[in-house]
Amino acid sequence: MKVAVCIKQVPDVEARLRVAKDGRWIDEEDLSFVTNESDRYALEEGLKIAEATSGEVVVVSLGPDRVKDALKKALAVGAARAMFLKDPAFAGGDAIATARALAAAIRRENFDLVLTGSQSDDVGYGSTGSLLAGHLGWPHAWLVIGLEIEAGGKTAQVKREMESGMNEIFRLNLPAVIEIQAGINHPRYASLKGIMGANKKPIEEVNAEALGLGADAVGLAGSRLEIVSVAFPESGTGAQILTGDAATAAQALVNKLRQEARVI
Amino acid sequence: MSNNVWAVLQLRDGQVSRAALETIAAAQKLAAATGGKAEAVVLGSGVADAATAAAGRDLAAVHVADHADLAGYTPGAFIGALAPALRAAQPAFVVFAHTYQTVDYAPRLAHEIGAGLLPQITGFTSDAGSLLFSRPILGGKLQAKVKVRGEGTVIVSIQSGAFSSDSAAVASAPAPIQALADLSQIKPEREILGIEEVGGDQIDLTKSEIIVAVGRGIGGADKLGPVEDLAKALGAEIGASRPVIDSGWLPRDRQIGSSGQTVAPKLYVALGISGAIQHLVGMKASTCVVAINKDPGAPIFAVANYGIVGDVHEILPAFTAAVKAAKGA
């Protein structure tokens, strides 16, 4: 099967974050970026399917120059080639504008399956894959924790997470857009050979014009949402912070738990 | 386009749930800001009781889609029921509870009717008719203020607990109940094969009085020894946030959060847990929360009663020793 896997490069959420000077986003200088967590699981799922069906994975991403690193990492673990949606006009897009651009790129080829992560760890709209499915006119499923291709690639059995520890299992016709949840598999690491080989694999750069999209259809201009400002939440009623070395802080904590909270 | 606001109610066992009341409360509040009326939609099979219950709230109308194919959820059926009605009514906003069910189909519905999409809001402010919505970003570490651009309906989903179900205003007279006119486009495209419960014999953390929970910051399965020592000293059960489970450091029946168990112990000790919103919804009802984390900006500190900023591996043995000494005394 020919599988497209859409990935997003996001700030490392474990990193110390600072608000940018204009207050509209975080300061990206000196920030480390990683491939979005659930997207790494989507990529692994795509690679497994491609291996089982003698197919290939094409990895797709949209973003600024730095995204090339994320694409190279995907090529290093086994994707055959990459599509890089790169255009200043794509900047500031919401899920609607981004899905429109991804759909235009994916529609140029005949894919049997599209995989995405369920949610990005930065803006977290959790809807780009479903919107992409809308553009392609394909079925979709979100928060997928089990995927089995059936009937020679005509259908798939999908397990989807629901609230309160229940999973729903159903069958979908392919092609479809399947939005993968973290934990579905164990993403592989790149081998040295894979890393060396990645440099020879093609990364195709496409801009809005090449996709037949006007500047008003993509990026902020094509969006229904605009982030006006970002800020750290006011801590207000936050924790009493106990200070000192480990022993001092731990003793102070135990005293509080016994005498103030009376819970131990 | 009208300036009305529709609330799409997610039922639980055929009844109006707390999430549905929160959805009504949010729609009422938004309608007050747009100058329109709040209306509700009830979808399902045999939902007359739920429609009557919803009509007891202060709503201009309760729309009902009662159809055999809506008995269980599938996106094709739910979108098929809602899309024609929303295209005809063109409300300013359509409000959903932000649940695993609605996130599966709200984006697709937005695409179908050409609406905007604003997921997971925690609140909004209105200044001279212009609305500014708040939503968590970057794992809840920051909050973004978002405005809507362009014209046409916007589909909004509300974070659980962000709008109080108690604030859903009650009607002086019941709202009129109307059947949705066009149910011809309902087409379930998923063949449902079954529902499974994750781990039937799972550990029930909901009864635990004290829980020691670990997050990604603990560093690995080989670092759990000192955690077990603390749990033993406190007489606690061990829980975990999702990344720990996904990494295979602890079994899935230890997971706390929106896709795991919802707990409310008298003491909750969060070790190396940053406090993503999906985790917080599963433990925020705890009586006393202790957070130990190296990042002073971790959102867990905002919901904790007591915190220590530092290396969890250094603090853990000291904490366990202090607990043992206090209990021995």
More confident residue, B189 or A73: A73
* Distance (Å, whole) CA B111 – CA B96: 16
Start-to-end CA span in chain B (Å): 70
Supply the pLDDT for residue A235.
Answer: 55
Residue with tokens 């394909």: A138
Q: A175-196: per-residue pLDDT in tens?
A: 999 999 999 999 999 999 999 9
Burial track B114-142 (b if 16+ CB lie within 10 A, e otherwise): ebbbbbbbbebeeeeeebebbbbbbbbbb
Give the residue-averaged pLDDT of B240-266.
Answer: 90
Rg of chain A over Cα atoms, rounded to whole angstroms, equals: 21
Interface of B with A in 10-49 (CB under 8 A): none
Residues in B closer than 8 angstroms to A233, CB to CB, are 140, 142-143, 299, 302
Q: Which residue, among A14, A165, A244, has the nearest Cα to B215 in the 3D structure? A: A14
Furthest CA-CA distance within chain A: 68
Mapping DSSP onto H, E and C, the string for A49-77 reads HHHHCCCEEEEEEECCCCHHHHHHHHHHH
Cα dihedral value B126, B130, B134, B137, nearest 10: -170
| B5-179 topology per CATH | Rossmann fold (3.40.50)
Query: In the numeric block, which tokens belong to residue B31?
Result: 């309608």
B307 touches chain A (CB under 8 A): yes
Q: Do B313 and B223 contact (CB within 8 A), yes or no?
A: yes
Selecting from A19, A167, A256 the residue whose C-beta is nearest the C-beta of B306 gives: A256
| A2-222 topology per CATH | Rossmann fold (3.40.50)
Which residue spans of chain A are classified as CATH 3.40.50.620?
2-222
Q: Do A242 and B305 touch (CB under 8 A)?
A: no
Residue length, chain A? Answer: 264
Query: Is it true that domain B205-328 has CATH number 3.40.1350.10?
Result: no
A20 touches chain B (CB under 8 A): no
Q: Do A249 and B318 touch (CB under 8 A)?
A: yes
B176 touches chain A (CB under 8 A): no
Supply the pLDDT for residue B129.
Answer: 76
Selecting from A163, A169, A243 the residue whose C-beta is nearest the C-beta of B193 gives: A169
Query: In the numeric block, which tokens belong to residue A242?
Result: 């106990």
Residues in B closer than 8 angstroms to A133, CB to CB, are 108
Residue of A nearest to B274 (CA): A14
Question: How many cross-chain Cβ pairs, A to B, lie less than 8 Å apart?
Answer: 266
In the predicted structure, residue A172 carries a pLDDT above the cut 90: yes
In the predicted structure, residue A1 carries a pLDDT above the cut 90: yes
Query: What residue ranges do the domains of chain B occupy?
Result: 5-179, 205-328
Q: Do A264 and B107 touch (CB under 8 A)?
A: no
Give the residue-averaged pLDDT of A22-50.
Answer: 96
Same CATH topology for B5-179 and B205-328: the answer is: yes
Selecting from A162, A163, A235 the residue whose C-beta is nearest the C-beta of B301 gives: A235
Residues in A closer than 8 angstroms to B105, CB to CB, are 130
Alpha helices in A146-220 (DSSP H): 192-198
Q: Do A75 and A201 contact (CB within 8 A), yes or no?
A: yes
What's at B47, amino acid-wise?
V
Give the residue-averaged pLDDT of A136-159.
Answer: 96
B283 touches chain A (CB under 8 A): no
Q: Do B319 and A253 touch (CB under 8 A)?
A: yes
Q: Which residue, among B309, B147, B41, has the nearest Cα to A244 in the 3D structure? A: B309
Beta carbons within 10 angstroms of residue B311's beta carbon:
14
